[in-house]
């Protein structure tokens, strides 16, 4: 398998924008047409996701699939998730499995096998709380949770260490260290970080600590993150959107755009607007 | 559903020992008889787990199922996991789903639904790195990762904060606070903590910060944790093993005991020895 960060950078440059559509399907919010056609929720979600993938392929370089929305339905949901990842791959989209896994020893190896060998995702979100040694088994792309977008994250991640760093900055230093030997031809590491757009005061400091990490950035749009917030997280010296070190993700604002007419058309329109907006941010100045 | 910690304490008192057998099935280590009978790994694992449950029911109060070992095989593995949890319940065992989940908002609600409504586990292991607010949706029993048994965990969890606490102690204080309103008739909270037996220097300090938490204690036996290490984690004032605030878990040393003869008999013997050893630790002095 080729280097994840290189493939992602190439895909971003082809699309012209470092953006990622989040598939967080919730039955209650699906288009009436889809909801009423299926008795089983996992089937409705499968049809909806297929429509979303058709709509966004060729518009955005990547999708992020929220594992919890599928696991909710047990084995049937996991089968649906496998199908969604497979279809996304077939449509040329880079896939991020947002499962926030984290365990020790053999269990970490199993999670890596589940994500990269079985489900064949290109990248996986992981937790680093168990220590940097637990991240070694993930041979594909990973995004380590550093600074998350929810209000309550400050109670852990903003705590100040005796050495002056915050807990998030300490995690960032681990991410940089383990990512150092895993940089590709374009300078970016396969070990990236999750950094929420809703904590703009932290973005530039975290970028300084992680110069070669791709930041998977949730919280843009629906959760309140603005273009200025994202601008502060760009990687210095980037020559193209693919080297900006950004992968801004939006879910609800794209997959539930509201409005009249065909829902796939509406989603395609929302994805276009997002890609154009974030594409402009990614380019200097 | 009745209070998890109350049910667990009752089950521990009936068994006489606060011990939990870990189901971490790995195909390579299964008994030859089981391995050779199945082409599909998930089937071999299903048969093995069924044999383990038969062997340990009536000997120990609880089992801990390692989700990664099943997820490794995708939807088929998750279906197997659901079957194992269902059979364990049918055999009167309290079930802990060791999946170390953690996410924000709606996604946390989905993980809670997956564990408690769909798979019907009694308790789930969760990560608190995203902040205490993200733990609110878990209405069943939870064990929050505080201090894990792997060597590399020190690089995060032993880091010293400016206020003098370690990161693990800061997490412990969050666990105590969110667990406070969720104590049952026997004084124990539904919000427990994962505290490894391999970090004995931290056990007593963490117990002082979390007086009413059940400690799910991995690392005993195979990973090097000793009876003395566990003794330091007991809850003061406990009147029975069920109130000791301990749930010591061992996997490999019980489910792969080696030896001649029927493997189920060997596992039952190993579970008996573990229960007897830990039962003695749980009682004062």
Instruction: Give residue-wise pLDDT tens across range A60-92.
Output: 999 999 999 999 999 999 999 999 999 999 999
Residue A185 in any domain: the answer is: yes
pLDDT of residue B259: 84
Q: Are B128 and B101 in contact (CB under 8 A)?
A: no
Contact of A162 with chain B, judged by CB distance below 8 Å, is answered with yes
Residue of B nearest to A102 (CA): B100
Q: Over 80: is that where the pLDDT of B222 sits?
A: no
Residue B193 falls within a domain, yes or no? yes
Residue B282: inside a domain, yes or no? no
Whether the predicted pLDDT of B219 surpasses 90: no
Residue B78 included in any domain: yes
Crossing angle of helices A41-56/A74-90, nearest 10°? 20
Q: Which of B91, B100, B176, B182 is catalytic?
A: B100
Asked if B214 has any chain A CB less than 8 Å from its own CB, the reply is no
Determine the Cα–Cα distance for residues A52 and A22; give it in Å rounded to an integer.
10
**Sign of the C-alpha dihedral, residues B229, B233, B237, B238?**
negative
Residue A285 lies in a domain: no
> Of B90, B158, B153, B84, which is closest to residue B119 (Cα–Cα)?
B84
- Whether chain B has a CB inside 8 Å of the CB on A158: the answer is no
CB neighbour class for A75 (10 Å; exposed up to 12, middle 13-18, buried from 19): buried
Asked whether residue A184 is assigned to any structural domain, the reply reads yes
Q: How many CB pairs under 8 A join A and B?
A: 184
Q: B92 lies in which domain range? A: 4-277
pTM for the full model? 0.97
pLDDT tens digits along B92-104: 999 999 999 999 9
Instruction: Pick from A23, A64, A68 the residue to mutate for testing the B interface (most B CBs within 10 Å).
Output: A68
| CB A244 within 8 Å of CB A257 | no
Q: Is A68 close to B107, i.e. CB distance below 8 A?
A: yes
Neighbouring C-beta atoms of residue B240, cutoff 10 Å? 15
pLDDT of residue A285: 56
Hey, which residues of A are catalytic here? 100
Q: What six digits make up the tokens of B218?
A: 């991995």
Residue B208: is its pLDDT beyond 90? Answer: yes
- Across the range A36-42, mean pLDDT stands at 93
Residues of chain B with C-beta less than 8 angstroms from the C-beta of A113: 72
Mean pLDDT calculated for residue range B160-187: 97
Can you tell me which residue has the tokens 């705590």?
A159
CA distances from residue A254 to A55, A251, A272, B280 in whole angstroms, order as listed: 11, 6, 9, 58
Note whether B115 and B98 are within 8 A (CB): no
Residue A261 lies in a domain: yes
Tell whether A105 lies on the interface with B, counting CB pairs under 8 A.
yes
| ipTM of the complex in this document | 0.96
What total of structural domains would you count in chain A?
1
Which two tokens mark B215?
Answer: 């400690």
Inform me whether the pLDDT recorded for A1 exceeds 60: no
**pLDDT for position A222:** 75
**Residue A111 forms part of a structural domain:** yes
Summarize the confidence of residues A143-171 as an average pLDDT.
97
**B161 and A CB contact within 8 Å:** yes
How many Cβ atoms are within 10 Å of A264's Cβ, its own excluded? 17
CATH number at residue B34: 3.20.20.70
Contact residues on chain A for B151, CB-CB shorter than 8 A: 131, 133
Q: Are A138 and A109 in contact (CB under 8 A)?
A: no
Residues A120-140, mean pLDDT to the nearest whole number: 96
Residue numbers in A near B171 (CB within 8 A):
156
Q: Is the pLDDT score of B284 beyond 90?
A: no
Q: Whole-angstrom Cα distance, residue A234 to residue B16? A: 58
């Amino acid at each position: 398998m080729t280097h994840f960060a290189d493939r992602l950078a190439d895909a971003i440059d082809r699309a012209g924008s470092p953006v990622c559509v989040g598939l967080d399907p919730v039955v209650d919010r699906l288009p009436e047409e889809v909801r009423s056609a299926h008795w089983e929720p996992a089937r409705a979600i499968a049809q909806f996701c297929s429509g979303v993938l058709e709509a966004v392929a060729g518009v955005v370089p990547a999708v992020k699939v929220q594992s919890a929305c599928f696991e909710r339905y047990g084995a049937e949901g996991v089968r649906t998730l496998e199908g969604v990842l497979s279809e996304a791959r077939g449509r040329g989209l880079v896939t991020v499995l947002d499962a926030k896994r984290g365990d020790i020893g053999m269990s970490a190896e199993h999670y890596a096998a589940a994500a990269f060998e079985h489900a064949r995702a290109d990248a996986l979100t992981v937790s680093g709380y168990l220590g940097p040694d637990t991240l070694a088994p993930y041979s594909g792309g990973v995004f380590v949770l550093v600074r998350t977008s929810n209000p309550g994250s400050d109670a852990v991640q903003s705590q100040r260490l005796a050495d002056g760093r915050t807990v998030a900055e300490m995690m960032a230093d681990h991410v940089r260290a383990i990512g150092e030997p895993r940089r590709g031809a374009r300078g970016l590491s396969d070990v990236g970080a999750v950094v929420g757009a809703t904590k703009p005061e932290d973005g530039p400091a975290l970028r300084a600590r992680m110069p070669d990490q791709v930041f998977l950035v949730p919280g843009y749009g629906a959760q309140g993150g603005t273009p200025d917030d994202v601008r502060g997280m760009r990687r210095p010296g980037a020559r193209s959107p693919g080297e900006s070190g950004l992968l801004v993700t939006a879910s609800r604002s794209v997959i539930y755009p509201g409005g009249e007419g065909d829902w796939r058309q509406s989603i395609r329109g929302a994805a276009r607007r997002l890609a154009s907006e974030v594409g402009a941010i990614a380019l200097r100045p």
